[in-house]
Amino acid sequence: MVARRSVPPGAEYRYAVRPPQRSLPEYRPIQRQRCGRNLIQFAIGWNVAPEARALVRLTSRFRGRVLGELLRIKNGGKRISWSRAPRSLRAEVALMAGKDADGRPLEGHRHTEFFVWYEEETPSRLLVWRDGQPFDADEEKAILAAATRELSWAAPGDDADAWKVRLIPLDHAVPTPPGFGDGEYRIWKSMTPYVPPRHYLRRGTVRMGESVQNQVRRELSLRGVVRADEAQVTVDGSQWVAVHLPRGKRTRRSTLGDRRGYRLCIEFAEPVRGPLRLGHSSSFGLGLFEPATEPLT
């Protein structure tokens, strides 16, 4: 009875018409803007961790992308470079560019700075910080827009696109890194290498007035740190690192590790408030220090 039947006895076929499939809009998470912040944090995602000596490549390229987005926003949605922008537009983005409308560096460290935060010697966050005036709505929008695309940390060349990181905005509930809050600390240690802004060797001999320790104390004094001349500066090691160079001074291999950076420990006579960053390219992540003790206040 069932030899040539496609269904068992008592069973039957039933058919249903599949409903038409509706196209669903692509979901994109929206990062809410919170005006009035001085610090915006991103988690760094990578397949290959950025090299320590390539840190400045990452921060300077992100800064360039942020500046481009801000110029676009201020220019009514049209792309324009800083060099071609009118003087009035340059003045509007001065705090992000780090220079005034005439190209002169801003004084008083009022501009936006970019750092990489390390945890267990591994890059974990990219920090966008400005001491003083908080980011406005356009600036925050530009910073978030710049993070939507992957960013290469490799040197210019054929393999530059192979070494990229992803930046994921962190919620405001994520605590700020130590040293970026209201606490004051007496002992600070290097998170990223300190590069002396001035040459301290002459024909292989150390110029005592330009030693690493004296340059650190001089810069601390210029930044208004109390009793900076009494700070105890200890050198714990060194390594080659890339530094930030103005566009007009760059070459193809100019940022492949052309300055020696030092790991330092600074002990102050009185507690100091952070963030503490010193030396060459300190606005691009070099010379960043982390507190080595619990806050005193």
- Rounded CA separation 166/152 (Å): 9
Say which CATH architecture domain 184-291 belongs to. 2-Layer Sandwich (3.30)
Q: What is the pLDDT of residue 190?
A: 96
- Rounded CA separation 224/215 (Å): 14
Contact (Cβ atoms closer than 8 angstroms) between residue 112 and residue 63: yes
pTM beyond cutoff 0.75? yes
Q: What is the pLDDT of residue 203?
A: 58
Query: Three-state secondary structure along the chain?
Result: CCCCCCCCCCCCCCCCCCCCCCCCCCCCCCCCCCCCCCEEEEEEEECCCCCHHHHHHHHHHHHHHHHHHHHHHHCCCCCCCCCCCCHHHHHHCHHHHCECCCCCECCCCCCEEEEEEEECCEEEEEEEEECCCCCCHHHHHHHHHHCCCCEECCCCCCCHHHCEEEEEECCCCCCCCCCCCCCEEEEEEECCCECCCCCCEECCEECHHHCHHHHHHHHHHHCCCCCHHHCEEEEEEEEEECCCCCHHHCCCCCCCCCEEEEEEEEEEEEEEECCCECCCCHHHCCCEEEECCCCCC
| Cα dihedral sign, 190-191-196-202 | positive
- Rounded CA separation 141/89 (Å): 17
Contact (Cβ atoms closer than 8 angstroms) between residue 58 and residue 51: no
Q: What is the pLDDT of residue 22?
A: 67
Q: How deeply is 223 buried, as exposed, middle or buried, from its count of CB atoms within 10 A (0-12, 13-18, 19+)? A: middle
Residue 51's CB: how many other CB atoms inside 10 A? 16
Q: What is the pLDDT of residue 129?
A: 96
Tens of each residue's pLDDT in the chain, 297 residues:
656 767 777 787 777 888 777 665 554 444 555 557 999 999 999 888 888 888 998 999 999 999 999 999 999 999 999 999 999 999 999 999 999 999 998 988 889 999 999 998 899 999 999 998 999 999 999 999 999 999 988 877 656 666 889 999 998 889 999 999 888 999 999 999 999 987 665 556 666 677 899 999 999 999 889 899 999 999 999 888 888 876 655 554 444 457 889 999 999 999 999 999 999 999 999 999 999 876 665
Q: What is the pLDDT of residue 254?
A: 47
What is the CA angle 241-242-247, rounded to 5? 165
Q: What is the pLDDT of residue 34?
A: 56
Q: What is the pLDDT of residue 25?
A: 56
Q: What is the pLDDT of residue 2?
A: 58
Q: What is the pLDDT of residue 205?
A: 64
Q: What is the pLDDT of residue 248?
A: 54
Locate the domains of the chain by residue range: 39-169, 184-291
Q: What is the pLDDT of residue 40?
A: 96
